[in-house]
Amino acid sequence: MTSDLLARRARLMGPNVPTFYDDPVEIVRGEGVWLWDAEGRRYLDCYNNVAHLGHCHPKVVEAIAAQAATLNTHTRYLHRGILDYIERLTGKFGHDLSQAIMVCTGSEANDVALRMAQAVTGKTGLIATDNTYHGNTTAVAHLSTRRPPIGGYPGHVRRVPAPDSLAPLGGSLAAQAQAFAAGVARAIEELEAAGHGFAGLMLCPIFANEGTPGVGPGFMAPTVEVVRRAGGLILCDEVQPGFGRVGAAWWGHELIGFAPDVVTLGKPMANGHPVGAVVTRPDVMAAFREAFGYFNTFGGNPVSCAAALATLEVIEDEGLVENAREVGAYALEMMRGLHHPLIADTRGFGLFFGIEFAREGAPQSDFCGRVVEAAKARGILLGRVGRAQHILKMRPPMPFSRENAEMLVETLDAILREMPA
Ligand code: PMP
């Protein structure tokens, strides 16, 4: 019973533990793009970017089992698995991003990235957008805006208005690109005036947690110029767009067309096994190692590397980036055919979509929430995002088929027809 589980959670884990949906689901099994609950109901998973290859992909399951049966230990012994993986991973990057640190979560990866910027510049000032999430270490939580830190944001952290189809930025993307860069320039001046100096700007290249506002190639050019002029680093959080999700490229920064100094990775990296990484240039790595050394007991352990390597191979062998591009384009075209007076915008990159609900510039958060609940009732799992949680967020596993896309869009169509504005 769901209510028993909720009561047990509260008793054992404390209050306010996040769940999805008014009536949370107990998921007991997954396979491919499908999930099953404890009552045997099947759901089409349209939200999960952790099960990148589909749930329980046999090649990853096999790789984990074989390595776990052979050796798993901490990371101070020499082991070829981590080297084989880093070689394959960094082979996917340009811009001399040829070295990596393995960690266990996106939060840790971002924490390391912040320290890299500080090691290279000798400064402490950090900039992020005003509507984002980069993880939950204390340092990284200072860049996340959902729950302000006790005592307020520290002086070395500045938040700049994120690109957004609605206020405070709004307007054309070209104008937003200039406004975003101007915000970063102002924040740098403030950090310098306050004596912190400027170390780095952390952002997701497609602003996924901000609501995926549809930024395209060239958006970052004015901002990159501002950051470079000030001598700071660009720290690119690819936890959501990475590993081919955006279809047209392996990485979000490639799609948008800029060269970060540091890239952080997580969620989809090992298809559900907790693996993250920080990829950077040798000069940045040298400065970081000099300043901090760094040891991570579990980061890059043999089982994690086997899972991550199998994941990378399956993305290539099954042509999943191409699939994201093709099925993504097909699904987006169908989504753009959905009609409802509250649909303000429909956008996407590869297998990452957003449908924004607004009325005359006012976000329609409740409406969006009702669509998510109605979809769940019809066997489709979706999420929401945006300043007011008014944007449907869809990010299915990468083997999502045309048939799956048709099921998703037909279900949304049926739901929207029954929901008056
Ligand atoms: N960065 C981004 C953009 C994320 O969305 C998240 C997780 N939602 C994180 C970092 C943190 O990753 P983790 O939960 O693995 O620490």
Please give the number of the atom of ligand 1 that sits closest to the Cα of 135: 11
What is the whole-number distance in angstroms between the Cα of residue 155 and the centre of ligand 1?
A: 23
Instruction: Look up tokens 């957004």; give the residue.
Output: 164
Q: How far is CA 125 from CA 20, 46, 128, 301, in A?
A: 35, 37, 10, 33
- CA 278 – CA 237 distance, rounded (Å): 9
- Dist. CA 110 → ligand 1 center (Å): 9
Task: Say whether pTM exceeds 0.95.
Answer: yes
- Per the prediction, the chain carries an average pLDDT of 96
Whether 111 is in the pocket of ligand 1, judged by its Cβ within 6 Å, is no
d(CA 209, CA 199): 23
| Residue nearest ligand 1's atom 12 by CA | 106
**Substitution candidate for ligand 1 out of 107, 251, 262, 273 with most atoms within 8 A of CB:** 107
Which residue's CA lies nearest to atom 13 of ligand 1?
Answer: 106
Q: Are 394 and 47 in contact (CB under 8 A)?
A: yes
What is the rounded distance in angstroms from the CA atom of residue 252 to the CA atom of residue 250?
A: 7
Residue identifier of the C-alpha nearest atom 10 of ligand 1: 134
Any atom of ligand 1 within 6 Å of the Cβ of 183: no
Mutate to test the pocket of ligand 1, among 134, 144, 146, 296 (most ligand atoms within 8 A of CB): 134
Start and end residues for every CATH 3.40.640.10 domain found in the chain: 58-317
Distance CA 205, CA 190 (A): 24
Residue 413 half-sphere exposure toward CB, CA atoms < 13 A: 12
Beta strand 383-385 pairing with 157-160: unpaired
**Is any atom of ligand 1 closer than 6 Å to the C-beta of 133?**
yes
Q: Which residues does the chain have with pLDDT short of 70?
A: none
Instruction: Assess whether the C-beta atom of 204 lies below 6 angstroms from ligand 1.
Output: yes
Inter-axis angle of helices 58-70 and 302-317, nearest 10: 160
Residue nearest to atom 1 of ligand 1 (CA): 134
Check whether the bond before 58 is cis (ω within 30° of 0): no
Which pLDDT belongs to residue 213? 87
Indicate whether residue 271 lines ligand 1 (CB < 6 A): no
Nearest Cα residue to atom 2 of ligand 1: 134
Q: What is the DSSP string of 256-314?
A: HT---SEEEE-GGGGBTB--EEEEE-HHHHHHHHHHH----SSTT-HHHHHHHHHHHHH
Is 134 touching ligand 1 by the criterion CB < 6 Å? Answer: yes
For the question of an ipTM over 0.90, the answer is: yes
Please give the pLDDT value at position 341.
97
Tokens of 323: 């699939």
Q: pLDDT at position 81, please?
A: 97
Residue that is written with structure tokens 């959080």 in the block: 237
Instruction: List, for residues 105-154, the tens digit of each pLDDT value.
Output: 999 999 999 999 999 999 999 999 999 999 999 999 999 887 888 888 89
Ligand 1 contacts CB of residue 212 (under 6 A): no
Q: Atom 7, ligand 1: which residue's CA is nearest?
A: 135
Paired tokens of 292: 């901090």
Q: Can you read off the two tokens belonging to residue 385?
A: 């995002």
Looking at residue 146, what is its pLDDT?
78
Nearest-5° angle of CA 405, CA 387, CA 334?
Answer: 20
Q: Are strands 352-359 and 362-363 parallel, antiparallel or unpaired?
A: antiparallel
The pLDDT tens digits for 233-274 are: 999 999 999 999 999 999 999 999 999 999 999 999 999 999
Cα 204 to its chain centre, rounded Å, is 7
Angle, to 10 degrees, between the axis of helix 402-418 and the axis of helix 365-377? Answer: 120
**Mutational pocket test of ligand 1: of 50, 103, 104, 133, the residue with most ligand atoms within 8 Å of the beta carbon:** 133
Domain with CATH 3.90.1150.10 in the chain: 2-53+319-418
* Ligand 1 pocket test target in 240, 264, 265 with most atoms within 8 Å of CB: 240
**Looking at residue 147, what is its pLDDT?**
80
The DSSP call for residue 148 is: P
| Cβ(135) – ligand 1 distance below 6 Å | yes
Q: Which CATH class is domain 2-53+319-418?
A: alpha beta
- In the CATH hierarchy, which top-level class contains the domain 58-317? alpha beta
The order of strands in the sheet holding 27-31 is 27-31, 34-37, 42-45, 380-381
